[in-house]
Amino acid sequence: MSLQEIQEKFAKAEKEVGRAAGSAQLIAVSKVQPDERVHAVLSEGHRLFGENRVQEAAGKWPKFKEEFSDASVHLIGPLQTNKARQAMELFDAIHTVDRPKLAKTIARLAQEMGHCPDVFVQVNTGEEEQKAGVAPQEADGFIAECRALELPIKGLMCIPPADEEASLHFALLGKIAERNSLTGLSMGMSGDFERAIALGATHVRVGSAIFGQRAYEL
């Protein structure tokens, strides 16, 4: 599927639920993609990308930003505290803040560095043991803690369990955001972004639908 086709599907999904055009932002997930594919999408005019790993992003985005200075890159994968400084230098937003130690580290570095990326709190809506994120019943307290640290909390993020109806998790995330006066909802991927947009997603992560499957060398 081409970038244009994805953008048209976004516009259609927004229109069907009466949302303003462009209110759901497409994050092109460029992790493990060859540089030439990422460059091609940049050349088409797309400017918002998502990366899962700090090291991988550090290896390509400084170079891309020399050519495309208005490109914006968001971290959508887990962040270790020892990589926080590098992440804050690289990314415009971090979607995976999920524990007090990480929040405190980002807050301390923000004071030291004089700037801070936008922050999304990751909520483990399915309460899966193997998945990162704060538990839904602990989300309000953690959001308050982040605000007390003066972190720029823009919204919440979730990755629903693969074997459950995603809409239930999108709706839960929306309720937590609403009662905490947050407008950002980072949710939805290639297979369910229409449902995510219908339930208020502001940031949607789409990878293989844009770039195609990763071509591994034999």
**CATH number of residue 36's parent domain:** 3.20.20.10
Question: Total structural domains in the chain?
Answer: 1
What's the rounded mean pLDDT across residues 161-184? 97
Residue 182 to residue 120: CA distance in whole angstroms: 10
CA–CA–CA angle 134, 135, 137 (5° rounding):
125
Residues 97-154 pLDDT 10s: 999 999 999 999 999 999 999 999 999 999 999 999 999 999 999 999 999 999 999 9
216 falls within a domain: no
218 falls within a domain: no
What is the pLDDT at residue 213? Answer: 65
pLDDT of residue 211 exceeding 90: no
- Comparing C-alpha atoms, which of 21, 22, 85, 15 is closest to residue 54? 85
155 falls within a domain: yes
What is the pLDDT at residue 217? Answer: 42
pLDDT of residue 216 exceeding 50: no
pLDDT of residue 83 exceeding 70: yes
Residue 70 structural domain = 3-211
| Percent of the chain at pLDDT exceeding 90 | 92
pLDDT of residue 8 exceeding 60: yes
What is the pLDDT at residue 209? Answer: 85
Relative to beta strand 153-157, strand 48-51 is: unpaired
For residue 78, what are its two tokens? Answer: 């887990």
168 falls within a domain: yes
Query: In sequence order, which ranges of 100-217 are alpha helices (DSSP H)?
Result: 100-113, 139-148, 166-179, 193-198, 208-211
217 falls within a domain: no
| Percent of the chain at pLDDT exceeding 70 | 97
134 falls within a domain: yes
40 falls within a domain: yes
114 falls within a domain: yes
What's the rounded mean pLDDT across residues 165-176? 98
